[in-house]
Amino acid sequence: MVNIISEVTKTKIYDMLKQNQRVDGRSFTEYRDIKITTDYISKANGSAMVSIGNTTVIAGVKSQVTTPFSNSPNSGIIITNTELLAIASKSFEYGPPNKFAVEISRVVDRCIRESPLIDLEKLCIVESERVWKLYIDIYIIDYDGNIMDATSLATISALLTARIPQASLVDGEVVVDEENTVKLPVKNLCCLTTIVKVNNFLLVDSTFDEEELMDASISVGFRSDGTLCAIQKCGLDSLSVSDVRNSINIAYNKSKELISILEKIR
Amino acid sequence: MLFVEQKELVLPGTLLTDNDYKLGRNTFKQKDKIYSDITGLAYFNSDNVTVIPLNYKYEPQYGDLIIGKVLSSSYSSWSIDLNSTYNGFLPTTELYDKNEQNLSSIINVNDKLLLRVAHVDEIKRVKLTIRSQGLGKFNQGVIIRVKQPTIHFLSEENAFLASMIRECTGSDIIIGKNGLIWINGRSEEIEKIIKIIEYIDERPFQHNLIKSVQNIIATKLII
Amino acid sequence: MTTEYVREDGRLFNTLRNMKLEVGVLNNADGSAYIECGNNKIIVGVYGPKELYSKKHAKVDGAVLRCKYNMAPFAVNERKRPGPDRRSVEISKLISEAITPCIFLEKYPRTSIDLSIEVLEAEGGTRCLGIVGASLALADAEIPMKDLISACAVGKVDDRIVLDLSEKEDKEGQADMPIAILPRTNEITFIQMDGHLSGEEFDEALKLAFEGCKFIYELQKQALIKKHEEM
């Protein structure tokens, strides 16, 4: 059996996992190097470039005054959109967001909405008439696995450091003061950790090669006080009850790490 | 006249020479002047000039000895991964020939083969052949992928190195033009050889690399 | 006594904004480049040449260059809806035509070369910077080219011909003319003009544009050499 050594093959990953090792030397619950740069895009109200190992994403926050939804007249609006850029990977093609991009947007959106990261009621300017709408756009520019966690870190970092103009009511008209900006009203810090199951092993922060072999994955969101605020299972295979419980425990431990990183950004 | 030096880093559009040299790979001629078309190192021989790319994008040419991986099969041929922009094909007629008995081994997807480039047509379809001395399927050993400059160093500039390694260790080594090298022998020997090749791969353009490599072989391989 | 004309941002008529060029910034792409100029931030990625199996799209006599220029929603003052708009479609076509004369497409029949220019932040002159970046990304991907492509914009502001318009000068100026050239042979592969220019003003603008491009050409070469010295 001739193996091309410099290729990371399925058998190589499986063999190493059986010996409690990963190809890049990390432990099963270790994150790769996380780098976060905030205020990266000056035209955006808030922005963050996050790289986890070789995966890099950029999130931008833009604010706009708009009419609220009729069923939540005194609440601000958050709209999350993720794009997997063609430059990020050979397998990404141009076109409308595909199902993975849509899913990532929605999972991250729900995690920050349920926490809630932002106190949406404080984004209300005039009840039933004018509220702040925050657009969060995330660009995946380099793909080496675990874009769910990278996207959530980028989104949360961008929101924590975003500044929006002050809006006030003057003689019945909404006046927006672009010169004086304020930070967003943050309520509960939260974070998201994705655990991938490969051949019965649970791995944190999977690389592209590890993801290619995954049976299933589960993303778990925690608030800073230790409450669960999001769960999403992905993948074509099933998870056992103990898989899910163990994943939640692992994610809980990781959340301490991630929350402390986010606290420093605030 | 030569406008750059031997092994100088050149860029797309760099003027190399206005001598009447033959055009090697990655060069082009415009109004009697020869230019480089990529970023790489310029190599002048007595009558031709080539630019060696710094990464491992191999381009198949007639006669090249290559190591390929079988990707898929169809009724008429096997599709072979050449570690290059284009895949090659090996016609099935190559194997079912009553005269050549040693070619009756069965070829499956993912097999690694030692082949020669038989023909490259104008639209870059690469026809391969397995009918020649020494060509065939690899059943054991390991294959490593290296950059083009390393292949150039081992096969063109210092071809004696391969024989030297074979003699010193009793292992076998075959250098594929397409950036893959096959090594077979005892695992400790294989590891030492891989270390030497990795050493070259990290610094293929180092001044007097051949001396350092010979030193390493002398100290590490000869017990 | 003549005083030098000083523009709103403090530059002289022929001063380029500070430019930072980096080659090979992405791990997955075959070639990539990143450009910062003023507040412009542009990333370019190239995949290819890769064999194209779709008979409908593949060309037998050469590679197919597929070029996409795209602006991020957060790149501009008013958030832009994601997805191609008419401006992006036009610019994609022009950039593709600016680059095609330079590449030896005939060397790679039946393949595609996919180039993406992503504008992360825009502040005037993104199409020229996109071309500058595309040239570097293609060189990084080792796609054979006749030369590097240099590009910059000139325009008329306050009745003066100036180099490298800022966003404000672009909006409020009297003319805007981006061009791209192959510096070795002085061939023009891209030229557009918007506004009013007399014949003489055009000649002056063209001359200034060529000077700007030649300067940027040197920066591009340095960026490529720097990347390989690090290897």
What confidence tier does B223 reach under pLDDT thresholds 50, 70, 90?
Answer: very low
- Which residue intervals of B23-135 are DSSP H helices? none
In angstroms, the CA A82 to CA A105 distance is 5
Helices and strands (H and E) in chain C: how many: 4, 10
Q: Which three-class secondary structure state does DSSP give residue B29?
A: strand
End-to-end CA distance of chain A: 54
Q: B142 vs A6: CB contact, 8 Å cut-off?
A: no
Quickly tell me which residue has 């036009």 as its tokens: C90
CB proximity A1 to B under 8 Å: yes
Q: Is C9 part of a structural domain of the chain?
A: no
Give the pLDDT score at C109: 92
Condensed to tens digits (0 to 9), the pLDDT of residues B95-139 reads 765 454 444 457 888 889 999 999 999 889 999 998 888 888 888
Share of chain A above pLDDT 70, in %: 96
C35 pLDDT above the threshold of 90: yes
Pick from A43, A62, A82, A134 the residue to mutate for testing the C interface (most C CBs within 10 Å).
A43
Half-sphere exposure of B129 (CA within 13 A, CB side): 14
In angstroms, the CA C210 to CA A76 distance is 51
Which ranges in chain B are annotated with CATH 3.30.1370.10? Answer: 142-221
B79 pLDDT above the threshold of 80: yes
Task: Indicate the residue of B39, B85, B123 with minimum beta-carbon distance to C224.
Answer: B39
Share of chain C above pLDDT 90, in %: 83
Q: A41 vs C41: CB contact, 8 Å cut-off?
A: yes
Our count of domains for chain C comes to: 1
State which fold the B9-53 domain adopts.
Answer: OB fold (Dihydrolipoamide Acetyltransferase, E2P) (2.40.50)
Q: C142 vs B38: CB contact, 8 Å cut-off?
A: yes
Residue C213 domain boundaries: 21-230
What confidence tier does C185 reach under pLDDT thresholds 50, 70, 90?
Answer: very high
In angstroms, the CA A54 to CA A26 distance is 14
Q: Which three-class secondary structure state does DSSP give residue C7?
A: coil
Give the pLDDT score at A6: 58
Task: Identify all chain C residues contacting B13, using CB atoms and an 8 Å cutoff.
Answer: 145-148, 182-184
In angstroms, the CA A197 to CA A215 distance is 6
Q: Which three-class secondary structure state does DSSP give residue B59?
A: coil
Give the pLDDT score at B100: 47
Domain B65-137 indexed as CATH 1.20.120.1770: no
Q: How far is B149 from chain A (nearest CA, A)?
A: 17
Alpha carbon distances (Å) from B49 to A134, B29, B40, B46, C228: 59, 11, 12, 8, 21
Task: Identify all chain C residues contacting B86, using CB atoms and an 8 Å cutoff.
Answer: 51, 110-111
CATH number, span A21-265: 3.30.230.70
Q: B54 vs C139: CB contact, 8 Å cut-off?
A: no
Pick from C102, C104, C142 the residue to mutate for testing the B interface (most B CBs within 10 Å).
C142
Q: A5 vs B139: CB contact, 8 Å cut-off?
A: no
Alpha-carbon dihedral sign for residues B199, B200, B205, B209: positive
What confidence tier does B222 reach under pLDDT thresholds 50, 70, 90?
Answer: low
CB proximity A87 to C under 8 Å: yes
| Pairing of β B172-175 and β B180-184 | antiparallel
A102-111, A115-124, A197-206, B137-146: segment of lowest average pLDDT: B137-146
Task: Identify all chain A residues contacting C50, using CB atoms and an 8 Å cutoff.
Answer: 90
Give residues 36 to 75 of A whose Cβ lies within 8 Å of C.
40-44, 47, 54, 56, 58, 60-62, 64
C3 pLDDT above the threshold of 80: no
> Looking at chain A, which subunits does it touch, using at least 3 CB pairs closer than 8 Å as the criterion?
B, C
Which positions in chain B have a beta carbon within 8 angstroms of at least one beta carbon in chain A?
A: 69, 112, 138-145, 180, 182, 194
Q: List residues bridging with B69 in a β-sheet.
A: B81, B112
Task: Identify all chain B residues contacting C111, using CB atoms and an 8 Å cutoff.
Answer: 85-86
Question: Which residues are CB-contacts of B46 (< 8 A; sequence separation ≥ 6)?
Answer: none
The percent helix, strand, coil of chain C (3-state, each to 5) is 30, 30, 35
Residues A196/A217, Cβ–Cβ less than 8 Å: yes
Q: A135 vs C79: CB contact, 8 Å cut-off?
A: yes
Q: Is C11 part of a structural domain of the chain?
A: no
Half-sphere exposure of C29 (CA within 13 A, CB side): 35
Nearest C-alpha neighbor of A44 from the set A158, A157, A186: A158
Give the pLDDT score at B218: 78
Residues B36/B12, Cβ–Cβ less than 8 Å: yes
Which ranges in chain B are annotated with CATH 2.40.50.140? Answer: 65-137
How much is the average pLDDT of B180-186? 89
Quick one: B142-221 is in which CATH superfamily? Answer: K Homology domain, type 1 (3.30.1370.10)
Give residues 145 to 164 of C whose Cβ lies within 8 Å of B.
145-148
Task: Indicate the residue of C47, C76, C82 with minimum beta-carbon distance to A43.
Answer: C76
Condensed to tens digits (0 to 9), the pLDDT of residues C161-178 reads 999 999 999 989 999 999
CB proximity A77 to C under 8 Å: no
Residues A61/A118, Cβ–Cβ less than 8 Å: no
Q: Is C82 part of a structural domain of the chain?
A: yes
Dihedral pair phi/psi, residue A167, rounded to 5°: -115, 135
CB proximity C108 to B under 8 Å: yes
What confidence tier does A108 reach under pLDDT thresholds 50, 70, 90?
Answer: very high
Task: Identify all chain A residues contacting C22, using CB atoms and an 8 Å cutoff.
Answer: none
Q: For chain A, give the mean pLDDT.
A: 91
Q: How far is C75 from chain A (nearest CA, A)?
A: 6
In angstroms, the CA B78 to CA B128 distance is 10
Q: How far is B106 from chain A (nearest CA, A)?
A: 14
Dihedral pair phi/psi, residue A18, rounded to 5°: -65, -25
Nearest C-alpha neighbor of A131 from the set A96, A84, A95, A167: A167
Q: Is A19 exposed, middle or buried, given 0-12, 13-18 or 19+ CB atoms closer than 10 A?
A: exposed
How much is the average pLDDT of A40-44? 94
Share of chain B above pLDDT 90, in %: 32
Question: Which residues are CB-contacts of C179 (< 8 A; sequence separation ≥ 6)?
Answer: C128, C151, C152, C153, C154, C188, C190, C191, C192, C206, C209, C213
Alpha carbon distances (Å) from B13 to B180, C183, C221: 30, 9, 11
What confidence tier does C56 reach under pLDDT thresholds 50, 70, 90?
Answer: confident
Q: Is C107 part of a structural domain of the chain?
A: yes
Task: Identify all chain B residues contacting C50, using CB atoms and an 8 Å cutoff.
Answer: 85
Number of Cβ pairs < 8 A linking chain A and chain B? 26
Q: A87 vs C32: CB contact, 8 Å cut-off?
A: yes
Q: Is C8 part of a structural domain of the chain?
A: no
Q: What is the DSSP string of chain A?
A: --EETTS--HHHHHHHHHTT--TTS--TT----EEEEES--TTSSEEEEEEETTEEEEEEEEEEEEPPPTT-TT--EEEEEEEE-GGG-TT--SSS--HHHHHHHHHHHHHHHHTTSB-GGGGEEETTTEEEEEEEEEEEEE-SS-HHHHHHHHHHHHHHH-EEEEEEEETTEEEEEEEEEEE--B---EEEEEEEEETTEEEES--HHHHHT-SEEEEEEEETTS-EEEEEEESSS---HHHHHHHHHHHHHHHHHHHHHHHHH-
Quickly tell me which residue has 């990143």 as its tokens: C34
Report the CATH number at residue C101: 3.30.230.70
| DSSP one-letter code for B103 | G
Nearest C-alpha neighbor of B112 from the set C51, A12, A7: A7
CB proximity A42 to B under 8 Å: no
Give the pLDDT score at B102: 47
Q: C74 vs A83: CB contact, 8 Å cut-off?
A: no
How much is the average pLDDT of A182-188? 93
> Looking at chain B, which subunits does it touch, using at least 3 CB pairs closer than 8 Å as the criterion?
A, C
Q: Is C1 part of a structural domain of the chain?
A: no
B42-51, B93-102, C59-68, C83-92: segment of lowest average pLDDT: B93-102
Q: What ipTM goes with this model? A: 0.86
Give the pLDDT score at A172: 80
Task: Indicate the residue of A44, A81, A88 with minimum beta-carbon distance to C28.
Answer: A88
Q: B143 vs A2: CB contact, 8 Å cut-off?
A: yes
Which residue of chain B has the CA closest to C104? B37
In angstroms, the CA A47 to CA A26 distance is 29
Give the pLDDT score at A5: 61
What confidence tier does B89 reach under pLDDT thresholds 50, 70, 90?
Answer: very high
In angstroms, the CA B121 to CA A49 distance is 47
Condensed to tens digits (0 to 9), the pLDDT of residues B200-210 reads 888 887 878 88
| DSSP one-letter code for C105 | G
Which residue of chain A has the CA closest to C121? A41
Give the pLDDT score at B59: 86
Residues A207/A144, Cβ–Cβ less than 8 Å: yes
Q: How far is A137 from chain C (nearest CA, A)?
A: 7
What confidence tier does A15 reach under pLDDT thresholds 50, 70, 90?
Answer: confident
